Structure 1
Amino acid sequence: MSFGHSHDDAGSVRGEISNGEIDLGQIAGALSRRRRIVIGVTLAAFLGALVFVNVVKPRYTAEARVLLENQESYLTRADKERADPTAAPDAEAVQSQIQMLTSRDLARRVLKSLDLQGNTEFDPIANGLGLGAKIGVMLGLSRDPSKLAPEERMLDAYFDKLLVLSPTKTRVLQIEFSSRDPDLAARAANAIASFYIDIQREAKRENARDAAQSLSPLVADLRERLSRAEAKVEAFRSRSGLFAGTNNMTIATQQLGDLANQLSISRTAQADAEAKGRLVRDMLRQNRVGEIPDVANNEMIRRIGEQRVSLRAQLALESRTLLPGHPRIKELQAQLADLDADWRRAAERTARTLENEAHIASARVENLARAMEEQKRVAGAAGADEVQLRELERAARVLKDQLEADSAKYQEALAREGPKASPADARVIQRAVAPPIPSFPKKVPITAFATIAAFVLSAGSIVAIELLSGRARLLGPAPLPAPPEEEALEAPSQIRIAARRREPVFDEPEEEDEPRTSLALAPERRTPELENRSPRTFRSGIVGKIDAARMATLSVKVLMVGCADAECSFDSAVTLSRALARRGLAIIVAADAQAQGRLYDRLIPDLERARPLGLADLASGAATFGEAIHRDQESRLHVMPGGRSAAEYDQDVEPVLEALAQTYDFIVFATRDYERAMFLAPSFDIVLVSGAELAAEAVIDELAQAGVSDAYLLEEESAADASAA
């Protein structure tokens, strides 16, 4: 069966029996066929991105950080109490501070301090108005920037380069400012942070100033009202006689208290004197004068008692010698009786004295009681005036307390008007420095992204086209025309290949009227086992075998051996190599000098007749790879001739094969030297033998005995048939 159907027939048949599944092989083939487009688009994007990142002016971003926290301390707080932990700013307060940082008032201050007038990056009229701006001004679509204040016309550029944000779950404000000048970016970020803190301080000072201005007339009015209230209190006190004594009490009340104390003391003294008088009388009646404390402690009573004791002793002494009727005894008894009478009279005088003290105390109590009753009447009459006086004093005291509180607030407000007396509720924790690396453009990421995006878009477009056209759908079990890849293997001569592994492979019968111009497996004897197989199983050509080997290795090495009677073996090698060059990076190597002539005629017709450097020179070290490899003028195929050196190089081919395998996807060796082919065959993945059937089969048998199993037979038609084809 021939594989020379047109693409239109293949597409129509494919559309009829497509089963809807995606054919990855077809997509891979489409990408391979259009790889130049993908590579071109990707390379263009890479070069464009590279030019862009090197031509565009770099932009630098400086960063300053501000921490929001309550800066009040024990020394700056008026109440001198512990700071409230709940006074820390919440999420809404943080967002409010971000709005303050992006306000126009702060922007004007920063622009004025940076003196950016005339800077082409910020001032739109630094280089004059452009044509578009002039037309917009003439049509009234925009304002004339030359008539605006310098800071006003630079606000748009300023806000474009400013970014303020707060990291999640923090009270830190991150201020980022971009500019082409790294020093300007750092100065602008620091200026924004400084002016922001200054604005907060000014706000606090302004609040203190407003509080002082509002408290000043209130304090003055309270002073005047307090003076009038205190004057009313003193006038009423003078008019009513309610003068204050000790402990803030009125004189009448204080006198009433004094009289009560004196009356209590007098009654106590009266009761004591009366009790002592009664006790003395009772003891006198009982003749117990010596036991009375006040009598016993009397000096005269003590002298009388001493005399009595002396007389009693003298009487006792005289009674020892004298009788009771003796004049001396009588005299002593008369003296003793006089002393007893004196002692009793002294005791009675003491009793009368105590009784007189009791009478005096009773009279004093009566007088104090009368004075107290009189003072009660006086204090009761002054009670109503005292109530009114207390009311006036209470009103004056309220005014005084209010005046003291407002005066303290007023003095505090005056004190907080100072520039350092009101700390801002924020502080700079990181000042901006001039960034050494630009924030835009990021050369490596932009170049890589543009290149990858171009590659993905171009490859995706090709895949989409294949999917939409239906060519990338898997086919059903019906027999199909050969895929486009096999059609590319057309050659001027018809070459057929058959597997040698003692299992003959057959192909579908070819139509007589169809030209035979493709490489396919040669038919051999059919067996019942083979006849039961699907016809599609045996339509794999040379490229299919090589593709199968390509799935298992990075580089496929093919050895093409031409027997002595093989006339078109080199043409077949060139055809196969050019087909493989369309599927990947391929090279054909002329392994002996016999391949030089026809190989050069087919591949390098314009090369001078002198033998070029090639494999033998490379193996012997006389040439490098760059000198030994040449280019096919009709395809992307690379060519390595046999070379000029006459030295044997079979032992040095293995390193050359390994080196070529690191670079090329497909390596084709063409030789007609039988001994060299037998030596090199074990190093190759696939061996193709061309020539007469008997001679070629003999070679394949010897290769099989040497351990080479992947050897296939190539059958050639005559030159006339090939020409006709």
Structure 2
Amino acid sequence: MRADIPIETEAVTNEVDLSHVGRALKKKRWWVIGPTLVALAGALVFVNVVKPRYTSEARLLLENQDDFYARVDKGERIDANGPDAEGVQSQIQLLTSRDLARRVIKQLGLQGNVEFDSLANGMGALTRVMVLLGLQRDPTQMSPEDRILEKFGEKLSVLSPTKTRVLSIEFSSRNPDLAARGANAVADAYIEMQQEAKRSIARTAAQSLATLVSDLHGRVAEAEAKVEDYRAKTGLLVGANNTVIPTQQLGELNNQLSNARGVQADAQAKANILRDMLRQNRIGEIPDVANNEVMRRIFEQRVALRAQLALESRTLLPQHPRIKELEAQLHDLDMQWRAAAERTARTLENEARIASVRVENLTKVLDDQKRVAGAAGAEEVKLRDLERAARLLKDQLETETAKYQEALARERVKATPADARIIQRGLAPQLPSFPKKLPIAAFATLATLILSTGAIVAGELLTGRARVAPPAAPLDAPQPEPVRIAAQERSAAPAERLAETVEAAAPPVAPPPAQTAPDVIHRIDSARAAQSCVKVLVTPCEKDGKPAETAIALARNLARRGRTLLAAADPGARAFDALVHSPGGAPKGMADLSAGVADFAEVIHRDVGSRLHVLPGGIAAGDEQYELSLIVTALAHTYDFIVFAASPDQALRLAAHVDLAFVLGGDAAAEDLRARLAQEGADAHLLEDVQGLDGLVAA
């Protein structure tokens, strides 16, 4: 059961009084200054007492270092692209691996170093306490190598700047020289591991390629032997120009036939021309005749005889014996001339016939050779397949042999280029990386100042002293009689009821001065902060009684805070008809809405005296078609506040659908109704002294 306390002790707003917070900080300033100074002194002592730690940085650039001149196959293209983001992360994992760490530890001689082996000088007292408390792993349960590796991993940091292929290797130590040597040793060990990995890959490749090359040698020899055996068996011996003999002979015969046909055509053409010239008596114009030595002598004799005949004709008559003798000699020479031309023509015709016979013979031989070459075609196809297979095996053998030779060369080369190079070597740092005196001191001081200030402010807020108190009533305002509101749990007996008293001011008529908010309104405002619509029930409300006036006053008050509806929950109630303007008689209302004969726009009216919306009782007499819960849900989507004025029976129906319920009166019947409403699920309260309440809620 809730204890009855004065409402005014609960009416505290959520606003913070900054002036009060300032006064509290000023009052408790030493609770801020003291811890801040202590933190500053502690930070200064810490940064001057703690052993400094130095960090050196070396940088690697991941790129392909395999150049053109270092390769066995000079024609192979070098891929200059570096690794992608996943490749860079993989190299970071390699740099932080234990295998690389073991190399660096051995190279730097960290075995027995106190900084890396906590048991080098025995276990200290602090370490023993931490181990006993379970806050630290027992170093005696670890091997010296594991202890050094764990400490080495803590001091090594490998990072990669965004969108680069640069690896930043940071190594920290109390000794600046050791920090620089550690960073450089990690970089050198990484380069060495890269070279060893490449040589190992080349060695493995050479071993696998050696077997492959040996197998290819045997297969190539076997393929070439098959080619030669098949060629010898089929007689497809290779002649000139890498062609088989039948094909080569066929080509030669074809060339001879072409030449013979050319000779035949030439001789026949010459013979035909010579015959034509003989018929035209143009023997001197025949080239073969004119160029003949015998014909040239005959031609010279003819010229001489003609000259002599012309000489003798000047003195002798045509019938002179000397003239006839010369003419007879000239006729003989002409006959010899023609006989020589005919003989030349017959020679050319014989040559043409000989060429024709040769053409016929060559044609027969060529046809026979074609049949031989055609018969050997299928065998030659198979021979080419065997040669092609042997050639492919030979090419593969040459390729694999070149790779094998390259792998052997790379395996034997000691300075195999790695896929990374050092672009910055670590130097011994002059300033420690930890502690940073000024930042640590400033941060500790500022953090303590903020925490101590926050602790004081939080204490003031938690105790409520920093909250803004409700405004007090003015001295000249009339002091009304107190209103008693009783609230009790569902299981409480009527005899255990307690009342909460709040004093508030109610102006008599005109707009009053500022005064304390009523408890009823305060409860409604509290419920409004938690939900979008507050549904308030006022009961019992009779048709023309005082409770109806109280509901009207409460609804008009809430209308100044948001969208408010005053609803008569009892169909047919006439208590709110006078609030609305209805020229046609009684206005429609709840009865008409629940009966389904009117919609919301027809039954909701405007209050003539305020911004309030009113839902009267209505005039319909039919049965209810819509449940009251559906109407309440629909109205809750539109209004911020809904005030239901209901009779006791109707109030019990609405109890489960409202947020607050106020029962007017203070007698046993009112208490019994409040208890029944509480049992139905309503947050029910009693409102006593209705006359005093009217003044409060009307304010």
TM-score for both structures, normalised by structure 2: 0.62
Aligned to 1:80: 75
SS at match of 2:357: helix
Match of 1:390 among 384, 399, 404: 384
Counting only pairs closer than 5 Å after superposition, residues 704-719 of structure 1 correspond to structure 2 as none
Aligned to 1:306: 300
Match of 1:451 among 445, 448, 454: 445
Aligned to 2:195: 201
SS at match of 1:416: helix
Q: Which amino acid aligns with 2:207?
A: Q
Match of 1:379 among 373, 379, 382: 373
Q: Closer, same or farther in 2 for the Cα pair 1:116/1:299, shift >3 Å?
A: same
Q: Which amino acid aligns with 2:63?
A: E
Q: Closer, same or farther in 2 for the Cα pair 1:165/1:473, shift >3 Å?
A: same
Q: Which amino acid aligns with 2:382?
A: Q
Answer yes or no: is 1:237 the counterpart of 2:231.
yes
Equivalent-residue separation in structure 1 for 2:301 and 2:77 (angstroms): 88
Deviation track 1:623-642 (CA, whole Å, cap 9, x = no partner) reads xxxxxxxxxxxxxxxxxxxx
Offset at 1:351?
1.2
Q: Which amino acid aligns with 1:305?
A: F
Q: Which amino acid aligns with 2:35?
A: V
Structure 2 contact 64–79 (Cα < 8 Å) conserved: no
Deviation track 1:402-442 (CA, whole Å, cap 9, x = no partner) reads 10111111112222224466422222221111111111111
Answer yes or no: is 1:46 the counterpart of 2:10.
no
Equivalent-residue separation in structure 1 for 2:32 and 2:359 (angstroms): 133
Equivalent-residue separation in structure 2 for 1:102 and 1:241 (angstroms): 71
Identity rate, percent: 66
Equivalent-residue separation in structure 1 for 2:275 and 2:140 (angstroms): 127
Answer yes or no: is 1:467 the counterpart of 2:461.
yes
Q: Closer, same or farther in 2 for the Cα pair 1:246/1:145, shift >3 Å?
A: farther
Counting only pairs closer than 5 Å after superposition, residues 171-570 of structure 1 correspond to structure 2 as 171-419=165-413, 422-474=416-468
Offset at 1:475?
5.3
Deviation track 1:547-589 (CA, whole Å, cap 9, x = no partner) reads xxxxxxxxxxxxxxxxxxxxxxxxxxxxxxxxxxxxxxxxxxx
Structure 2 contact 118–139 (Cα < 8 Å) conserved: no
Offset at 1:446?
0.8
Equivalent-residue separation in structure 1 for 2:141 and 2:467 (angstroms): 66
Structure 1 contact 273–354 (Cα < 8 Å) conserved: yes
Aligned to 2:106: 112
SS at match of 1:154: helix
Aligned to 2:160: 166
Gaps of 5+ in 2: 1-5, 475-699
Deviation track 1:71-106 (CA, whole Å, cap 9, x = no partner) reads 333334647355556x43222222222212111111
Equivalent-residue separation in structure 1 for 2:138 and 2:238 (angstroms): 81
Aligned to 1:656: none
Equivalent-residue separation in structure 1 for 2:462 and 2:104 (angstroms): 59
Q: Which amino acid aligns with 1:467?
A: L
Answer yes or no: is 1:35 the counterpart of 2:29.
yes
- The RMSD of aligned alpha carbons is 3.2
SS at match of 2:395: helix
Equivalent-residue separation in structure 2 for 1:169 and 1:179 (angstroms): 29
Aligned to 2:87: 93
Structure 2 contact 220–394 (Cα < 8 Å) conserved: yes
Q: Which amino acid aligns with 2:453?
A: A
Q: Which amino acid aligns with 2:173?
A: S
Q: Which amino acid aligns with 1:211?
A: A
Q: Closer, same or farther in 2 for the Cα pair 1:412/1:160, shift >3 Å?
A: same
Q: Which amino acid aligns with 1:69?
A: E
Q: Which amino acid aligns with 1:260?
A: N
Q: Closer, same or farther in 2 for the Cα pair 1:331/1:65, shift >3 Å?
A: same
Q: Closer, same or farther in 2 for the Cα pair 1:259/1:479, shift >3 Å?
A: closer
Equivalent-residue separation in structure 2 for 1:295 and 1:421 (angstroms): 89
Q: Which amino acid aligns with 2:353?
A: H
Aligned to 2:520: none
Deviation track 1:100-140 (CA, whole Å, cap 9, x = no partner) reads 21111111111111110111111132112457679979x9x
Counting only pairs closer than 5 Å after superposition, residues 689-700 of structure 1 correspond to structure 2 as none
Offset at 1:344?
1.1
Structure 2 contact 187–422 (Cα < 8 Å) conserved: yes
Equivalent-residue separation in structure 2 for 1:473 and 1:15 (angstroms): 12
Q: Closer, same or farther in 2 for the Cα pair 1:340/1:266, shift >3 Å?
A: same
Equivalent-residue separation in structure 2 for 1:265 and 1:330 (angstroms): 53
Deviation track 1:351-408 (CA, whole Å, cap 9, x = no partner) reads 1211221222223223323333343343344334333322322221111011011111
Q: Closer, same or farther in 2 for the Cα pair 1:16/1:257, shift >3 Å?
A: closer
Structure 1 contact 108–152 (Cα < 8 Å) conserved: no
Equivalent-residue separation in structure 2 for 1:213 and 1:143 (angstroms): 48
SS at match of 1:417: helix
Structure 2 contact 191–418 (Cα < 8 Å) conserved: yes
Deviation track 1:623-671 (CA, whole Å, cap 9, x = no partner) reads xxxxxxxxxxxxxxxxxxxxxxxxxxxxxxxxxxxxxxxxxxxxxxxxx
Equivalent-residue separation in structure 2 for 1:169 and 1:286 (angstroms): 102
Q: Closer, same or farther in 2 for the Cα pair 1:452/1:294, shift >3 Å?
A: same
Q: Which amino acid aligns with 2:365?
A: A
Equivalent-residue separation in structure 2 for 1:254 and 1:30 (angstroms): 120
Offset at 1:63?
1.2
Equivalent-residue separation in structure 2 for 1:310 and 1:456 (angstroms): 150
Offset at 1:35?
2.8
Q: Which amino acid aligns with 1:80?
A: G
TM-score for both structures, normalised by structure 1: 0.60
Equivalent-residue separation in structure 1 for 2:172 and 2:61 (angstroms): 21
Counting only pairs closer than 5 Å after superposition, residues 502-651 of structure 1 correspond to structure 2 as none
Aligned to 1:127: 121
User: Number of residues paired by the alignment?
Assistant: 467
Q: Closer, same or farther in 2 for the Cα pair 1:370/1:30, shift >3 Å?
A: closer
Equivalent-residue separation in structure 1 for 2:49 and 2:139 (angstroms): 32
Offset at 1:18?
6.9
Equivalent-residue separation in structure 2 for 1:259 and 1:243 (angstroms): 18
Gaps of 5+ in 1: 1-11, 481-725
Structure 2 contact 180–428 (Cα < 8 Å) conserved: yes
Equivalent-residue separation in structure 2 for 1:286 and 1:18 (angstroms): 152
